Structure 1
Amino acid sequence: MRTVFLIPLLLLGTFAFSQTKVTGTVQDENGTPIPGANVVIKGKAIGTTADFDGNFILETEETPPFQLEITSIGYSGATAEVTSNNQTLSITLQEAQTFLDEVVISASRTPERIFESPVTVERFGIQEIKNTASASFYGGLENLKGVDVNTNSLTFQSVNTRGFATFANTRFMQLVDGMDNSTPALNFPIGNLVGMIDTDVLSVELLPGASSALYGANAFNGILFMRSKSPFDYQGISVSVKQGVTSQEAAGTNPYTDVGIRAAHKFSDKFAVKWNFGYLDGTDWAATSEVDKFDPNRTRADLDYDGINVYGDEVSQNLKSVATTLEGLGILPAGANALVPSVDVSRTGYNESDLTNYTARSIKSDWGLYYRPIEGNNLELSYVGKVGTGNTIYQGTNRYNIANFFQEQHKLEIRNDNFFLRGYVVADKAGDSYDMVFTGININRAWKDDQTWFGEYAGTYVQATLGGATDAQAHAAARAQAESGRFLPGTPEFQNAFDRVIRNPDLSEGSQFRDASKYYHADANYNFGHLLDWAEIQVGGSFRQYSLNSFGTIYTDSDGPIDYNEFGIYSQIQKNINLAGEKSLKLTGSVRYDKSEFFDGFFSPRLSAGLTLNRDHNIRASVQTGFRNPTTQDLFIGLDAGRAILVGSAPDNLDRYTRTFNDVSGAGQLLGQPASITQTAANAYNNSYTLNSVERLGETGNPADLEIANPDIVKPEQVTSFEVGYRGKVNKLVIDFSTYYNQYKDFISQEVVVAPYYGTVGDGSLSVASIANGDFQAYGTYTNSDADISSYGASLGLTAKVFGNFDLGGSYTYTRVEFDREANPDFLLSFNTPEHKFKASFGNEALFKNFGFNVNYRFSDDFFWEATFGNGVVPEFHVVDAQINYSIPSIKSTFKVGGTNLLGDEYFTGFGTGFIGSMYYLSWTINN
């Protein structure tokens, strides 16, 4: 690991001289620096870019005299004459344009003005990063129109658009310089934990909605497209140091540190290198809710209590069933079960705060070697390596402490303006990660196994009742006896048990999960636009090979890695038609074919039209069909999550997962069944009842209430999306509006079912007896809904210059889903999106010379959160963030003082997570 971090430093230690050096400053008519301005030698693919303070250094083998062309979004271009070596220039650009002229790449895989993009695109660039009040560029994305950021942890934020999102956001793709940064084990990005640092971000583009036509299966709900700075354009050393505190009622006030270093050098017009390093350390948002997960009216005094952030109390049994078993074994006297009520009793759990230290940490580094073999041509060969490790909290079916997680990526790429060919590998290791729910469960079991605990409880209850105690007194005495000798947090006994449990991957005794999964990916694209005059045509494709290796702790891979692959090919044609006057029509057609080895191939077409009325008004419309292959978890998971066993439904996974259950109650043996029963995942899909009907049977005792589940094995899901939008400018007001309608088919989600230990579902006798006796297992299955599911919404964004040069912006987003919940009570839809969102910003980049400020406001309506960990209402929240910044060009520095959630009203974005408090920070950024 240490060697990997030193390699780029050794590379940067080499020094080379160029023939000509030009320095200068780019500023606007008010003397304000213009960061990111492009400085290019006229007629050559050689240039550089101005830093945050508008300064640039251009080193080239070109011999004067020659001309420089200086451009920047929002300004008229300029030229400058270079007549000698070591010349210093001062360039002033005139403000002339709007953000509508910003260039985006992600919408069509080719550069185009955002004004003419065929679909909705949100962009976040260098200037927005400088102005964001959030502690990082990634956190600043939540201020974009139509974007939801669900905060799982201080270091794990999940970006999503247009609904259907949990923290495991498998419907949303995240690319860094074209490389997918989703984790192989989990099959989704874990925020920016091992991603980019602020000082290396060139731009961020976000496409909401289906993008499968160009980007494949995982871009089903949108794509986040991040690009880093090229060392040919951005040289020197940049350092960002951010120091502050986080403040939360549960966790208190704690220090926060974020350091980023970027070093880049162009040795010549042909060879350049760069290296980045990031370190973040803080204390996570503590999750301390003791509200019962299933009934908010329950408290810890209730018999069958299951606190949201209390673990170990998931284990419960029916007291009468326990007493019946003990009576049958002769441990309790005859007739004892008649004294015991038929109530469920749960074990006493441990608070989450007893099971983690809430360390939030991220350490990451990346490096790149870039070679342009042909002078004056931008053909480029590159190698990029990335490594990262860190601590965070992930909430899926349970809550997980992701400790010392490690991920690495390595990419080789060759590209120019017309094509790219890249291949990369992504690998991860789980480190010391563990399941906090099973940690609580198995610390309890390490002290006293379930059979002993419930036996003592039932026996003491009977004795107390026979002694004349009331029901409440008998339960109090029973729990006191069962709890005798319990390992208490802070004691050596507790700590020893904790250490043993989190290092044991056997979930019957431990909670560790292990992983060393990886995937190999290759993709290519060629744009024939330079060869054809009448249209622009692109073709491309991708291939991915998965290798899952969780050692049986997540997937059914205890006997070795699971390998499978998928591929896709696509083509796009784009035609500009000039109409009368300034009018023009851009037509785009795309189609992609994808094939997984487990499923039939699928075509994803997209048609769009963009009508430009003049320079200031554009109307767009599109229709596209997207699809999503089942994820690695949908296919191969085999995980006992406590209340249910999660089993994927790949064809060969149904027999890969097996589990043996003991007939503790003895009821099955009385019916002629064996004392132990072995089930496979096939029982969940071929011999099961719906959970809802089993719960009704418990209430009514009527076998007719049971409904057969037997869910189908999972297959790809599809969406047909219609979108209409408008972008335009009226005087100083810029308008961006879009509305969409999505219709889903074969929607993938989980359905909890109940499989009896014996009997065949629907037989009306044996399987019913199995359910009635409590001899069954709950499974979380992965299947498709045949229900009609649709979603629709609209977004409106307005920005304007007011009071001279102040920036005022606002956006409103409406999102809604249509789904018959009554007809599908056991289906987890997980829409998890507020119906109404409003965001606003107000600021000035140059309130006076070198001084700027920005204030952001966000409102989110309340909504119902639905996920495997638990369901509940997320209340509405109002958040205000703000920052002020001051630049000192003489030392190439920008200072920023900022704060998030300045109102101090703690909130959360997902059921079960910690409340988000406030953050205050001071940062110093040096761009040398």
Structure 2
Amino acid sequence: MKKLLLTLFVFVFSTISWAQIQISGTVKDTNNDALPGANVLEKGTENGTTTDFDGKFSLTVQEGAVLVVSFAGFETQEVPVNGNTTLNIILKEGLQLEEVVITGSRTPARSNTSSPLPVDIVGVQELQATGQTTFDKALQYKIPSFNTVNTPVNDATSLLDPYEIRNMGPSRTLILINGKRKNLSSLLYTQTSPGRGETGADISGIPTDAIKSIQILRDGASAQYGSDAIAGVMNIILKDDYKNGSATLRSGITGEGDGEMLGVSLNNGSKIGEGNGFINYTVDFSKTALANRPGTVDAEGEAADFGAALADVQEFLSRRPDAGNINGSPETTAAKFLVNGAVDLKGNSEIYFNAAYIYKKVNSFANYRTPYWRTITDFPYLANFFPGNNPNNPGGYDGYLPTFEGDLNDYNGTIGFTSKINEWNIDVSATFGGNEQAYSVNDSHNRNVVLSPATWVDTNNNGVVDPGELSESSQLYRENSPISFDPGGTAFNHIVGNIDISRVLSDQIAIAVGAEFRTENFEIIEGDLASYDGGGADSFAGNRPENSGNFNRYNLGGYFSVDWDATKDFLLNGTVRAENYSDFGSTFVWKVSSRYKFAEDKYTLRASVSTGFRAPTLHQIYTQRAQYSFVPGQGIQVGGLINNVSPQARLLGIPKLKAEESTNFTVGIGAKPFKNFSFTIDYYSINVEDRIVLSTELTPPNTPAFDGLSDVSFFVNAIDTKTSGIDVVVSYNKLEVGPGKLGFNLSGNYTITNERDGAVNNPAFAQNSGQSVVNATQEALFFTSRPRSKWILGTTYDINKFSFSLNNTYFGKTVFKQQGLDTNLRTEFTPKIVTDLGVNYNVDDHWTIAFNANNLFNVLPEWSFKAENAAGQAILNDPAQVKVQSNLITFNQRYSQMTYDGYHFSQLGSLFNLSLNYKF
């Protein structure tokens, strides 16, 4: 590999040529009307631009270049420059635009239909039309294979929800910004919900107004991009327009009258220099109020769980039927800043850059500590800490509600240099990114008995310890406890260097070669003493010193790719990649893909097969902490998450983590058989070996090393999995109906197989004690807790100044096996259809008013018990047993709507949004 790279570099830099010309022109339709936003691309390169509002463009190209000019709804034209410096181009209406795809291949860009890989392309207007307040939720209602989970128990998860493509977890989808790797979040999901034990990039913070389009590659791409691309790649392409700026004021509220949202954003740009240089910037501020959806708590379940008198529980619940709980959508404040730009240099070269900074402040809550849970008998001082209006307790003590407050700072930036030297496209870049999350807990206390050292007091000043002069130890906490804590947090950052070189060698062959160096750093930030000492703050314990610190690694990778157009219709692509990590060694992966066009290019057959890998994240290797969690039938308990390099791991014989490996296969067909109609159908199969999972909670050995812990969990390469399914996209647009135009889009994902392949790889400690790191709950979280089928049917109608959209999203059945649930039962969520309505009114060329009603019919998640066998049916026939089982999985109905695991559409019900947009 090193010799090959050296040879290519020598060849590239020994054949420099600067033969270029500056051209300008206009793009119009047959009625001589300008076409703003038309794509103008130098064939065989990524050098291109778009026309301005008057249909004008300017571009520096090589002598002898051919321009590829395209616009939605018009036939694409190839226009030879032939030495001309001014071009007037007329496009004829024709088949739907073959959009340019840059994601999934390292060789020069191709059109969407000629790509050998399945790629979804979503424009910013489509995202905005969903009416969703964040980028990840907008994708939820545009891409069937994309899912994000609403979690009813927030803690750190309130800062960002887990997301995934094709049921593979957030760790297996790689996020790019303008083709460059975005940093991971520092958050490790540890709640019992989909995404448990994984981490992903924070895409919820990306301002939608800064996005030009999204390209989602639904295929394994580790060979092209490295780790994390097992399930696919999402490339977020930023706006590169220095004109057509806009300002937007938006507001929203739920159908229940809470969750008020107010936001304002500005997107604008400026031209830099005489060429195609530009800067585009976006500023976005928003605040969303709390939306609370508590359940009605069951008194008998509470009395049984907490050993309390039923009368005391009933008295409290008569005043607070929800037991004081607050769960739903927390109060969130966000500020987002993003800039994208480029500066033209001489010789068809440019410097490009982008940078973003996101700040989020989230105020959420732990479970309410009721007066029969944290009693005045056990903790008399609570009457002074949290006075209330309970007539049965001194000081009116009525329990307390600990807060969980999070501050998130996420930043990323890239600076790069591109040039075309003697037909070689060269791209050199450096990317920086990081994510820090700091937490605070208020209205809580440290209830643990921790004594200060005894102190000698020399009362008679004789310098000798006399009887009675050694003072007694005092309580550090309990009655002396603070009620506010700094439990620390986490931080992650990376620095990535890329060199990418590509060239179209002939009409048939294009090649690409490149290298990447990446260094990563993960920090566990120590909490203050009171937050962890003796057990720490009630609700969320801080990071202990021995569990905190900085952890880092680096890796070096290189790839080589070749595209061979065997004929004008048949394409073959091959890519190989080698990577070396400082902490676990080397890996080698490859990919082969092809496509065949026929019937005058109206139909395309495509297929790919590849191997892939995912390196364990630093979060998974080094995270260790005590954590509060809900244990059915026992309430909140303190468990321990131990890492794989700790003394505790050695005691249990837990092996160190190694990389996951995958094999991907995709085959499909895409077609545009006639004007305005297109469809794609793709089958996929993903097999993952040595999948890394966060184990279920296991009972530890009875040794001092595990004193005070009800259970332990850890990361382990535990299972092999196989996943297969079908993706379908059908589009039929621009149908003339009356004075307007009607469009339809149907897209869907159906999971054929998603299951464990073979036995669980249990460490000896678990095997010998009759336990397993993967139980029925874990199996459900991996394989059945996402909709098996998801379909989106969208309809649009444009008439005069109005634009209407109606989307129906079908969420198929999901199955849970919650922790503590009787093994003879399962929980099924009923399939639901969520309907969204959007209305846009273009007042004039500048002003647009948009109204969106999301979840128009207030559809909420519904679940029911199903029997696995006759024993399960016997339970369902007994209402008393059903109630017991229901209480187990909902914490006595605190989370009755979604259970303790979350679901894929909001528990908030209807949401109404109104926005006002002004175009400069």
Category of TM-score, reference length = shorter chain: 0.5 to 0.7
2:207 aligns to what?
Answer: 196
- SS for the counterpart of 1:503 is strand
CA distance in 2, matches of 1:300, 1:56: 72
Deviations 1:472-503 (A, max 9, x none): xxxxxxxxxxxxxxx9xxxxx9xx98xx5553
User: Which letter maps to 1:272?
Assistant: F
Judging changes above 3 Å, is the alpha-carbon distance between structure 1 residues 796 and 591 closer, same or farther for their aligned structure 2 residues?
same
**Residues 638, 645 of structure 1: 8 Å contact kept:** no
Counterpart selection for 1:800 from 719, 732, 736: 732
1:525 equivalent in alignment to 2:500: yes
Judging changes above 3 Å, is the alpha-carbon distance between structure 1 residues 56 and 592 closer, same or farther for their aligned structure 2 residues?
same
1:170 aligns to what?
Answer: 171
Q: CA deviation at 1:197?
A: 3.4
1:763 aligns to what?
Answer: none
1:616 equivalent in alignment to 2:619: no
**Residues 693, 717 of structure 2: 8 Å contact kept:** yes
1:373 equivalent in alignment to 2:317: no
1:596 aligns to what?
Answer: 581
2:14 aligns to what?
Answer: none
User: Which letter maps to 1:390?
Assistant: K
CA distance in 1, matches of 2:329, 2:671: 51
Q: CA deviation at 1:112?
A: 1.0
User: Which letter maps to 1:521?
Assistant: V
CA distance in 2, matches of 1:834, 1:118: 28
1:256 aligns to what?
Answer: 262
1:504 aligns to what?
Answer: 486
User: Which letter maps to 1:608?
Assistant: S
Deviations 1:206-238 (A, max 9, x none): 1124221111111122221011122xxx12362
- SS for the counterpart of 1:195 is coil
CA distance in 2, matches of 1:28, 1:147: 40
Matches within 5 A, 1:610-689: 610-614=595-599, 615-642=601-628, 643=637, 645-647=639-641, 649-650=643-644, 653-655=645-647, 680-683=648-651, 685-686=652-653
Q: CA deviation at 1:105?
A: 0.7
**Residues 292, 329 of structure 2: 8 Å contact kept:** no
**Residues 839, 857 of structure 1: 8 Å contact kept:** yes
2:472 aligns to what?
Answer: none
Judging changes above 3 Å, is the alpha-carbon distance between structure 1 residues 853 and 735 closer, same or farther for their aligned structure 2 residues?
same
1:407 aligns to what?
Answer: 410
Matches within 5 A, 1:19-38: 36-38=37-39
Q: CA deviation at 1:629?
A: 0.9
Judging changes above 3 Å, is the alpha-carbon distance between structure 1 residues 556 and 649 closer, same or farther for their aligned structure 2 residues?
farther
Q: CA deviation at 1:750?
A: 1.5
User: Which letter maps to 1:785?
Assistant: A
User: Which letter maps to 2:228?
Assistant: N
CA distance in 2, matches of 1:23, 1:390: 45
Extract unaligned runs of 5+ from structure 2: 1-21, 80-85, 152-156, 189-198, 310-319, 369-401, 452-477, 527-541, 629-636, 761-771, 862-896
Q: CA deviation at 1:392?
A: 4.2
Q: CA deviation at 1:355?
A: 9.2
**Residues 361, 390 of structure 1: 8 Å contact kept:** yes
User: Which letter maps to 1:591?
Assistant: V
Counterpart selection for 1:102 from 99, 103, 119: 99
- SS for the counterpart of 2:494 is strand
Matches within 5 A, 1:840-851: 840-844=793-797, 846-848=798-800, 850-851=801-802
Judging changes above 3 Å, is the alpha-carbon distance between structure 1 residues 78 and 852 closer, same or farther for their aligned structure 2 residues?
farther
**Residues 27, 91 of structure 2: 8 Å contact kept:** no
- SS for the counterpart of 2:113 is helix
Q: CA deviation at 1:397?
A: 14
Matches within 5 A, 1:232-381: 234-236=241-243, 238-247=245-254, 249=256, 252=258, 254-269=260-275, 271-286=277-292, 288-289=294-295, 301-303=301-303, 305=305, 358-368=330-340, 370-374=342-346, 377=348, 379-381=349-351
1:836 aligns to what?
Answer: 789
1:696 aligns to what?
Answer: none
Judging changes above 3 Å, is the alpha-carbon distance between structure 1 residues 59 and 523 closer, same or farther for their aligned structure 2 residues?
closer
User: Which letter maps to 1:72?
Assistant: F
User: Which letter maps to 2:604?
Assistant: N
Extract unaligned runs of 5+ from structure 1: 1-19, 81-86, 292-297, 306-315, 320-347, 453-486, 488-492, 506-512, 656-679, 687-710, 760-766
Counterpart selection for 1:587 from 563, 572, 581: 572
- SS for the counterpart of 2:138 is helix
2:521 aligns to what?
Answer: 547
1:574 equivalent in alignment to 2:563: yes
User: Which letter maps to 1:226?
Assistant: I
> Between the two proteins, what is the percent identity of the paired residues?
17
- SS for the counterpart of 1:119 is coil
1:818 aligns to what?
Answer: 755
Judging changes above 3 Å, is the alpha-carbon distance between structure 1 residues 30 and 304 closer, same or farther for their aligned structure 2 residues?
farther
User: Which letter maps to 2:914?
Assistant: L
1:538 equivalent in alignment to 2:521: no
1:391 aligns to what?
Answer: 361
Matches within 5 A, 1:66-215: 71-76=70-75, 93-99=91-97, 101-109=98-106, 110-129=108-127, 131-135=129-133, 138-142=136-140, 143-151=142-150, 156=160, 158-165=162-169, 169-186=170-187, 188-189=199-200, 191-198=202-209, 200-215=210-225
1:312 aligns to what?
Answer: none
Moved more, 261-270 or 220-229: 261-270
- SS for the counterpart of 1:563 is strand
Moved more, 359-368 or 852-861: 359-368
2:463 aligns to what?
Answer: none
2:717 aligns to what?
Answer: 784
- SS for the counterpart of 2:592 is strand
1:707 aligns to what?
Answer: none
Q: CA deviation at 1:605?
A: 1.3
- SS for the counterpart of 1:853 is strand
Judging changes above 3 Å, is the alpha-carbon distance between structure 1 residues 154 and 201 closer, same or farther for their aligned structure 2 residues?
farther
Deviations 1:577-605 (A, max 9, x none): 11xxxx62111111222222221311121
**Residues 752, 778 of structure 1: 8 Å contact kept:** no
Judging changes above 3 Å, is the alpha-carbon distance between structure 1 residues 44 and 570 closer, same or farther for their aligned structure 2 residues?
closer
CA distance in 2, matches of 1:535, 1:21: 27
Q: How many residues align?
A: 714
- SS for the counterpart of 1:633 is helix
CA distance in 2, matches of 1:644, 1:599: 32
- SS for the counterpart of 1:514 is strand
User: Which letter maps to 1:181?
Assistant: K
**Residues 293, 328 of structure 2: 8 Å contact kept:** no
User: Which letter maps to 1:812?
Assistant: G
CA distance in 2, matches of 1:571, 1:216: 12
User: Which letter maps to 1:107?
Assistant: G
- SS for the counterpart of 2:292 is coil
- SS for the counterpart of 1:898 is strand
CA distance in 2, matches of 1:714, 1:860: 35
Counterpart selection for 2:692 from 741, 748, 763: 748
CA distance in 2, matches of 1:853, 1:274: 29
2:872 aligns to what?
Answer: none
Q: CA deviation at 1:27?
A: 6.7
2:554 aligns to what?
Answer: 565
**Residues 578, 587 of structure 2: 8 Å contact kept:** yes
CA distance in 2, matches of 1:163, 1:874: 17
Judging changes above 3 Å, is the alpha-carbon distance between structure 1 residues 123 and 591 closer, same or farther for their aligned structure 2 residues?
same
Q: CA deviation at 1:123?
A: 0.7
**Residues 556, 638 of structure 1: 8 Å contact kept:** no
User: Which letter maps to 1:382?
Assistant: Y
User: Which letter maps to 2:669?
Assistant: Y
**Residues 900, 918 of structure 1: 8 Å contact kept:** yes
Q: CA deviation at 1:356?
A: 10
Judging changes above 3 Å, is the alpha-carbon distance between structure 1 residues 921 and 551 closer, same or farther for their aligned structure 2 residues?
closer
- SS for the counterpart of 1:236 is coil
**Residues 154, 285 of structure 1: 8 Å contact kept:** no
